[in-house]
Amino acid sequence: MPEPTPSRGQLRAELRARRRALTIEQQARAARALVASTAGLPGWRRARHIALYLAADGEIGTAPLAELARTQDKQLFLPVLQPDMRLRFVEWRRGDRLRRNRFGIPEPPADNRQRSARELDIIFMPLVGWDREGGRLGMGGGYYDRTLAAVAGGPLLVGLAHSCQETDTVVREVWDIPLDFVATESGLHHCNGRRAPG
């Protein structure tokens, strides 16, 4: 008899435990290796407006990637939670004093420049689990899916994760937005979910 498919909640708990089990040194190596993986993204060189996140809860670190982007004169934006359960993207400048939102996630000053999702070139997204078809298992709040639902084409959507967060299949809901790529410490993976590279 086949094993029952784990629920999204069960899978989320298992994959979060995997990434939390990584040592500080493993996390640091992974964050550095991620930079090489993202360098192969189509459009990286000409991208000027990039959204990323600040890692928490065992997520793969983005500090080396942010530093690379800054040295190449790219503008960085962080997601800011809105009352309608969507995100707006606010510029994150070097030296900004960040304030924690109700979930403890640091956000840039509210009066910094903002851009809508469709005005960004690349959106780097955190995730809990991913598959090769572009399926993304997030924390369950649906913020990115709501924000990107009305953005056809638009920015390149790139999930950032540890290799250990890959799963055979992320069961998708109708509202789930697939990824174009997933970048991990071991390489860049083109997903079959949205569009071809190039």
Share of the chain above pLDDT 70, in %: 92
Q: Give the dihedral sign, CA 177/178/180/181.
A: positive
Identify whether 21 is part of a domain. Answer: yes
Identify whether 121 is part of a domain. Answer: yes
Are the C-beta atoms of 65 and 33 separated by less than 8 Å? no
Q: What pLDDT does 198 receive?
A: 45
Cα distance between residue 33 and residue 65, in whole Å: 9
Residue 69 CB partners (closer than 8 Å, separation 6+) = 50, 52, 76
**Confidence (pTM):** 0.89
Identify whether 1 is part of a domain. Answer: no
At 107, list the tokens. 């956000």
Identity of the amino acid at 159: G
Are the C-beta atoms of 176 and 135 separated by less than 8 Å? yes
Residue 170 belongs to what domain range? 8-190
Q: What pLDDT does 7 receive?
A: 75
Identify whether 2 is part of a domain. Answer: no
Q: What pLDDT does 5 receive?
A: 60
Report in angstroms the alpha-carbon separations of 59 from 15, 28, 111, 174.
Answer: 11, 11, 28, 25
* CA R_g for the chain: 16
H or E segment to which residue 71 belongs: helix 63-71
- Residue pLDDT, tens place only, 153-167: 789 999 999 999 988
Identify whether 198 is part of a domain. Answer: no
Q: Are strands 75-81 and 87-91 parallel, antiparallel or unpaired?
A: antiparallel
Report in angstroms the alpha-carbon separations of 129 from 94, 158, 171, 184.
Answer: 30, 13, 11, 12
How many domains does the chain divide into?
1
Q: What pLDDT does 196 receive?
A: 44
Identify whether 95 is part of a domain. Answer: yes
Q: Of 59, 58, 46, 50, whose CA–CA distance to 79 is shortest?
A: 50
- Residue pLDDT, tens place only, 92-131: 999 899 999 888 889 999 899 999 999 999 999 999 998 8
Q: Which domain CATH number covers 114?
A: 3.40.50.10420
Q: What pLDDT does 2 receive?
A: 47
> Can you name the residues that pair with 120 across neighbouring β-strands?
none
User: Which stretches of the chain drop beneath a pLDDT of 70?
Assistant: 1-6, 140, 192-198
Identify whether 197 is part of a domain. Answer: no
Identify whether 3 is part of a domain. Answer: no
Cα distance between residue 89 and residue 182, in whole Å: 21
